[in-house]
Amino acid sequence: LIDRINSRIAQMPAGERRADDNAETLRTRLAVYHEQTEPILPYYRDRKMLKRVDGMQSIEQVKKQIEKLVKGR
Q: What is the pLDDT of residues 5-21, one digit of tens each?
A: 888 888 888 778 888 88
> What is the model's pLDDT at position 29?
94
User: Which residues 6+ apart lie within 8 Å of 55 measured at CB?
Assistant: 62
Q: Is the pTM of this model over 0.75?
A: no
Measure the CA–CA gap between 56 and 31, rounded to whole angstroms.
19
For 33-61, the DSSP string reads IIIIIGGGHHHHHHTT------TTS-HHH
> What is the model's pLDDT at position 73?
64
> What is the model's pLDDT at position 57?
92
pLDDT (tens digit per residue) in 25-70:
999 999 999 999 999 999 999 999 999 999 989 999 999 999 999 9
